[in-house]
Amino acid sequence: MERSASKEVPRAASPTKETTLYPKITNHIHEVVKTLKYRLGQTVDNPTEVLHLDPIPIVGTVKLHGTHADILVHHDTDKIVLQSRNNVNLLPRADNHDFAKSMTQKTSTILFLRDQYIARWKELNPTMELDTSIPLTIAGEWIGQKIQKGVALAHLSKRLVIISVKINGKWVNDEQYSDIEAPDNQIYNISRASFYRAILYPEDQVRTIADLEPLAEKIAARCPFAESFGVEGEGEGLVWKLVPYIDNSEFWFKTKGGRFKPTFTPAHKKPAGDDSGKREVAVTVAKAWCSEQRMEQGWDYLRERGLPQSMKGIGTYLKWVQNDILIEEKGYIEENKVDEAMLRTETIAIAKPWFFRRMKKGDE
């Protein structure tokens, strides 16, 4: 028996431990659809029913190639906490490309932005009460010179771009707050690069990918955010949110183009039976998933955590790469019965020599 999904907002998974770090966004549309069906299916009385999802409108913003940086602002005390993707408390002495150094000089601007966001939120939600115990999160991308190489953004001075905002414990609709920024203090809104609209076809994901890939390639060839400042050059891609469920980051996904386009491994026709077959599968997927970008992210992880980018840090680096793959590719690993122990071994075989080469290269 088949039924269409109701419009009831699906419930997010209850985390075992609350975190203020920005959520990890998947590259895999099928993972989003799978999770969405599971969340909606939690309300189904008959678990044997087949859940059919109608087309869903999605809205996209340009994905910027910088380093992630967040600002948490407490309401009662005006306390400001700065974070990177991997560090819950950045300080000028333990920084992320001078993000904390810059933001600690902009306290009044940050509080002004907080007040603007809260005022807008209250206008849009007149019957709701603000929980002042929950800090407002301004999630952003710290971009500009010497942060990343080879992209248009590298030709801009360092600046923060607001990409998402969480108020009262929920991510808000970006378009409703698109005019809030502080350009005089080098804090901009991602809306400068426009919003993009498309349709997610849960029952025809091939069609969805075919529609979204050209947009990602267009942005990878020419970054519209950099272009808004008169700079032409390479971009990265788009981040998409399901319009009915914008506040739920479980259903966000990204599409990348150009050299940032991820390598997707085709599903194996049948699970490998013996150790030889299992190792062959592990080798194949490890090569696909140990991309240059992932290796660089692991290298950057050491810097963000203040750990040595030397032999003293190689153990942490290898562990990060393995875990990042196991988390991001979890769906594929489970569905295709990839041997995790063998995958870890093959990942190390690729990541370790990469780390040695990167050490020799240094910051050149």
Average pLDDT across the chain, whole number: 90
What's residue 19's pLDDT?
A: 79
Residue 150 half-sphere exposure, CB side, CA atoms within 13 Å?
8
- Annotated domain spans of the chain: 1-6+18-250, 275-361
Q: Is the pLDDT of residue 105 over 80?
A: yes
Q: pTM for the full model?
A: 0.85
What is the reported pLDDT for 1? 40
Confidence of residue 363 (pLDDT cuts 50, 70, 90): low
3-state SS assignment for residue 211: helix
CA distances from 165 to 11, 15, 80, 131 (A): 20, 20, 15, 15
Q: Is pLDDT at 340 greater than 70 in this prediction? A: yes
CB 132, CB 76: distance < 8 Å: yes
If DSSP codes are grouped into helix, strand and coil, which group holds residue 309? coil
Weakest mean pLDDT among 44-58, 124-138, 259-273, 282-296: 259-273
For residues 334 and 49, the model is more confident at: 334
- Would the pLDDT of 264 be above 80? no
Average pLDDT over residues 276-300: 90
Average pLDDT on 242-261 reads 94
CA dihedral 281, 283, 288, 289 (to 10 degrees): 100
Select from 3.30.470.30, 3.60.20.30, 1.10.260.40, 3.30.750.24 the CATH code of 1-6+18-250: 3.30.470.30
Residue-wise pLDDT for 32-91, tens only, equals 999 999 888 865 555 556 688 999 999 999 999 999 999 999 999 999 999 998 889 999
Q: Phi-psi category of 284—alpha, beta or left, where left has phi over 0 and alpha has psi -120 to 50?
A: alpha
